[in-house]
Structure 1
Amino acid sequence: MVKSRAVAVLAAAALALSACGSGGSESPSPSGTAPRVLKLWHYESADSAMGKAWAEAIKKFQASHPNVTVKFEEKSFEQIQKTASMVLNSDEAPDLMEYNKGNATAGLLSKQGLLTDMSEEVTKRGWDKLLPGGLQTTAKYDDRGLMGSGKWFGVPNYGEFVMVYYNKDLFAKHKVEVPTTFEQFTAAMDTFVKAGVTPISNAGAEYPAQQIFYQLALTKAQKPWLDAFQSYKGKVDFHGPEFTYGADTFADWVKKGYIDKKSSGLKAEDMGVAFMKGEFPIVISGSWWYGRFASEIKNFEWGHFLFPGATMSPGSSGNIWVVPEKSENKDLAYDFIDITMSKDVQNLLANSGGVPVAADPAAITDAKSKELIETFNKLTTADGLAFYPDWPAPGYYDVLVAGIQNLINGSKTSAQVLDEIAGPYEDNLADIGN
């Protein structure tokens, strides 16, 4: 669920370019031709901002392609994460798929020859003009599968970042103010613990816990460290101050009761649902939850803030549309991507709690959505997007899940966990010749 620091333009500049809007190049099948099927996979829940936007895109696609049936299958993030290489190398490959961006995922598939080079289509349809600067980082991969340059193997059409969501009612009940410093943040969590309330809803079996660990490391990190870790522009010391602080502090948070030890086996859905039920005052996770929280939380007021004490947060352009090399309907896949970049769909994305790349700013009327985009602009203006911890190496996601689970259940020390996550990273460096 990482990228160039130039992403500071993401919401601001990309929205400004909405005048270059796409969406006019759909090509309906001529009447009388044989019916066709567009096989589409994505993993956005129906109530999320992206889920609502892509559902609208399907409607628009079907209206403009009357002789085409869209066969949509919702896959889980985990399903696609674990089986993509195998599925895309078979006859079961979809025509169009949402996929995670970064070296370990889209980069790996591009290197394996499983994704279509869309460079010519991107230029022809003007998507490159809607995705300036850093937005292109996670769309392009070189021959080694490293992001940031080379050919276009994907198209992102939203942005995302990790933040702190909080239950305003629980904060008020326990007389906790919104923290602006790290010390205030931990003091707030101490207040909840003393009242018998576990502060943070967490999920150790999937991505959320590793993102908290990474966010803690980022509080001690500077840009050269980030460039070294994510882009191999320097040596990463896994026992240096950044990762050591992240691991030690995460383990300390478990000991202090900020994070429940039982969360080691929970999944992201468990975490999000528990927060929506009002069972926890805090959840540290991404903007992909924002629209769903807005739709489903009915019994309390909630808000968000950037992680206190950090100048950088996990985040990037959103996941990307990729066209498998084995797609039998690449032209239809391109038409669908085009519709997701249209102003109507981008405006819906914005007003549903998403971070669009090509919306009309004047059309964003939802107050919660405006808050989200303002926060994202604040982060990107400070050049604060730091990608995600699992991006640098293939298979690294599972390595981090296992490592952070060990921190939660206390089965290994911080130093042992850091050794475990260092090994696969350094093996990958050797594989790519760095």
Structure 2
Amino acid sequence: MIEKKGARLALAAVTVAGLLAGCSSGSSDSSTTVTFAGQTQEKDIWDAQFKAFEQAHPDIKVDAQYTPNDSYPQLMQTQLQAGNAADVIQTTPGTGGGLPALTLAAGGRLADLTNMSWVGSMPASSKPLVTLDGKVYAYPTDVAPLFVAYNPQLFSDAGLSAPTTFAQLTDACTKLSAAGVTPISLAGASYQNTSILVQAIAANNVFGPDPDWNTERKANSTTFASAAGWQKTVSDVKKLIDAKCFASDVAAVKAPVHMQRFAASKAAMYVMPAQAINSVRNAAPDLTFSSFAFPADTAAQTRVSAASGIALVVNGKARNSDAARKLIDFLSTPAQRAAYANTAGTIAPGAGPDGSDVYTDILTPLKPYMATDKVLTLNYLSWPNANVAQQLATSVQGLFTGQKTAEQVLADTDQAWNTANK
């Protein structure tokens, strides 16, 4: 179901306009409307941004439509194909996400944004994910790391502190489980959530040791099944299962439930992307929680995957292209990027008054990683298409039910990669 921003106000405006038309045939509305398509999860964040934009640009109104996350990519593809999509569209960077910006650009669906004012100040890690053949096609809104959110009170009650090694993490799982607390809340029935878990672990085992692994896979000089890092990643998932890190019903848990368990202090940890911080805050405004990087075997090996979770694009057939560009230009200003990051729970590079990065408080413990070479671009965004990451995550779900072996998980993923490249 699509939600429309300001539906009641729009109805009132139509009514008033009709009354005025009856009184004065010379009156007219000279404002321009720019349309926006986004996901329901970010509705509150975008609405606040658009209110500020309309105050700064009283001659431009934003008509924002929101669609639930699961059905959003297909709806946008359909509308783009039909030529009736919004002027500005929320997409994912790169080629491996649900609505990949660069795949849309390659299909001729998007406007070239290379000459926009914000292009020169983009983070280096974001640029390859929004650039195709030397042209920029999308605006990356922020930097959003994957991390482990945890409840300090539940840890303290169990005599624990934030783990810095994988062994400490599994030990914490054992102690928390013995105390009657679910150690890690995971929606095992949602491939999106198992994907987040796998990608957080792979940063340590695959892309930390070999940052060029994606390039090697594209050249067919390696495979998921033959790579020691991917073998260890899937093995680590199995170790977490064996250490009782997840609820006994993990395979049946859906996304809303696992977040609610963490928000209600029934689970001590939650492996999440930064964009989920806002959802937890809304569900439990009084909950105190913090973060740590998903730990590798040693603290020195620990890495953090991060990327812009959202890339805004201008429809190549936008009805109001100039207004669409003005909207993105406004959203790219330091003040708006900082406001977005603080609300969404992400990071706004260089948006501070002194040019520093703006962090939401939950992410402060990750600063030592984000300022060094220990932060990696979220690598699945460069995979051939979204099906590869989805297949990997779906096959990992089979580990929870006992229907898949580690070897089968990696073989399935290689098959998805090979199919995507045919």
Q: If the length of structure 1 is used for normalisation, what is the TM-score?
A: 0.80
Aligned residues: 384
1:277–1:413 distance in 2 versus 1, CA, 3 Å:
same
Q: Which of 377, 384, 390 lines up with 1:393 in the alignment? A: 384
Structure 2: 5+ residue runs without aligned partners?
Answer: 1-26
Alpha-carbon contact 2:163-2:295 (below 8 Å) kept: yes
1:230–1:339 distance in 2 versus 1, CA, 3 Å:
farther
Residue number in structure 1 paired with 2:250:
263
* Percent of aligned positions that are identical: 21
Give 1:311 shift: 2.9
Q: Secondary structure at the match of 1:55?
A: helix
How many angstroms apart in 1 are the aligned matches of 2:234 and 2:340?
A: 36
Give 1:300 shift: 3.9
Q: Work out whether 1:228 is the aligned partner of 2:213.
A: yes
Give 1:91 shift: 3.4
Q: Work out whether 1:243 is the aligned partner of 2:239.
A: no
Give 1:218 shift: 3.0
Residue number in structure 1 paired with 2:271:
284
Q: Work out whether 1:43 is the aligned partner of 2:39.
A: yes
Alignment of 1:173-188 (within 5 A): 173-188=157-172
Which range is displaced more, 269-278 or 412-421? 269-278
Alpha-carbon contact 1:264-1:408 (below 8 Å) kept: yes
Alignment of 1:101-180 (within 5 A): 101-104=93-96, 105-120=100-115, 122=116, 126-142=117-133, 150-180=134-164
Query: Deviations for 1:336-365, whole angstroms, at most 9, x for unmatched residues?
Result: 111111233123234433311342246999
AA at the equivalent of 2:408: Q
1:393–1:91 distance in 2 versus 1, CA, 3 Å:
same
Alpha-carbon contact 2:145-2:346 (below 8 Å) kept: no
1:405–1:344 distance in 2 versus 1, CA, 3 Å:
same
Give 1:164 shift: 0.8
Query: Deviations for 1:180-232, whole angstroms, at most 9, x for unmatched residues?
Result: 22211111111112223321111231322122123223332255734232673
Which range is displaced more, 237-246 or 165-174? 237-246
Q: Secondary structure at the match of 1:375?
A: helix
Give 1:256 shift: 3.3
Give 1:268 shift: 3.3
Residue number in structure 2 paired with 1:98:
90
Residue number in structure 2 paired with 1:253:
240
How many angstroms apart in 2 are the aligned matches of 1:293 and 1:77?
A: 17
Alpha-carbon contact 2:275-2:309 (below 8 Å) kept: no
Q: Which of 64, 77, 90 lines up with 1:85 in the alignment? A: 77
Q: Which of 317, 328, 334 lines up with 2:308 in the alignment? A: 317
Alpha-carbon contact 2:144-2:307 (below 8 Å) kept: yes
Structure 1: 5+ residue runs without aligned partners?
Answer: 1-30, 143-149
Q: Secondary structure at the match of 1:102?
A: coil
Q: Secondary structure at the match of 2:48?
A: helix
Q: If the length of structure 2 is used for normalisation, what is the TM-score?
A: 0.82
Residue number in structure 2 paired with 1:22:
none
AA at the equivalent of 2:38: H
Q: Which of 271, 284, 298 lines up with 1:297 in the alignment? A: 284
Higher relative contact order (CA 8 A, sep 6+): 1
Give 1:280 shift: 0.5
Residue number in structure 2 paired with 1:10:
none
Q: Which of 200, 215, 228 lines up with 1:215 in the alignment? A: 200
